[in-house]
Amino acid sequence: MIHPRLPFRRTVCLVLACLAVTALAGARVAAADPPAAAAPAAPANDADDDIVRKAQIMNSQRWRRAIFELGEWLAAQQIYTTDEVRRIKASFNRRVAGMSSYELEYLLDDLDSKFKILDTPEAKDARSWVGQYLSAMSDRKRAEVLKDVPDVVTMSASQLQLEIEKIEKTRAALQQRSAAFDQSRQQLVDRAAAARQQTAAAAATAAAQAGAAYSPYRSGGQGGGGKPPFSDVKGSGMSVGAGPFGAYVNFNVGNF
């Protein structure tokens, strides 16, 4: 005879067994979960890969050539002072240090584009003209002119092209003003020369007239030696001369 409580006990045992199996399975699943938590380590690998890629760019021949060209341009230009060049280089180094490999590659592309612009005849002429234009200025005036000029290193290639075009327009306007000034000055010089010629011609005419009135009867190298007539008579009171209004003759017939 089966005791009436046995089925109940079996049921309880089965339930407990199921719970135990479920708990064990959950524990196994929980124990198996930690490997999935290792997925966030991927960004660290990406960062390492970016550093490696950035180092490869900075060790490339293209990057070294770009930095060399930038240094040569900064050394030859006449826009920035020595202190400003040092500031530009320090700022450039800080920017590069904080860039990702992709940002650095974009910077390199931008530098290449700007070097192509700076190598054009228009840019070379603009740089030469700006240097001559600024060299004649005082430090205060030069600082005033350059206060709105952006940094060549930080500006984009399109901004650089616009700056060169602005310089070309400024140079053309100043050349026109200089040509107009030179033309006006030349006109004044020509007028002064014409006035001097007129004065010299008038003086020559007056001198010729004075010579004819001085000795109408004798030549300067013959006979009386250019003396007035009857000059050998003492006390005659004759005198001949030339004044600001032409020749004059004073004659006093004192002994006649």
* Cβ-based neighbour number of residue 228 at 10 Å: 17
More confident residue, 94 or 226: 94
Q: How many independent structural domains does the chain possess?
A: 1
- pLDDT of 61 reads 94
Q: Which domain holds residue 93?
A: 49-178
Whether the predicted pLDDT of 6 surpasses 60: no
| Mean pLDDT calculated for residue range 228-232 | 59
Is residue 84 domain-resident? Answer: yes
Which helix H or strand E contains 239, and what residues bound it? strand 239-243
- pLDDT of 96 reads 93
Contact 74, 80 (CB under 8 A): yes
Is residue 53 domain-resident? Answer: yes
- pLDDT of 227 reads 61
- pLDDT tens readout for residues 151-178: 777 777 788 888 777 777 777 777 777 7
171: tokens are 């140079």
- pLDDT of 44 reads 60
Percentage of the chain exceeding pLDDT 70 = 62
Is residue 15 domain-resident? Answer: no
Is residue 38 domain-resident? Answer: no
Is residue 163 domain-resident? Answer: yes
Is residue 190 domain-resident? Answer: no
Is residue 61 domain-resident? Answer: yes
- pLDDT of 64 reads 93
More confident residue, 206 or 92: 92
131: tokens are 């240097």
Contact 57, 64 (CB under 8 A): no
Which helix H or strand E contains 250, and what residues bound it? strand 246-250
- What's the whole-number average pLDDT of the chain? 72
- pLDDT tens readout for residues 20-70: 444 444 444 444 445 555 555 555 678 888 999 999 999 999 999 999 988
More confident residue, 154 or 5: 154
* Cβ-based neighbour number of residue 78 at 10 Å: 13
Is residue 241 domain-resident? Answer: no
Closest alpha carbon to 162 in 121, 117, 120:
117
| Mean pLDDT calculated for residue range 115-137 | 78
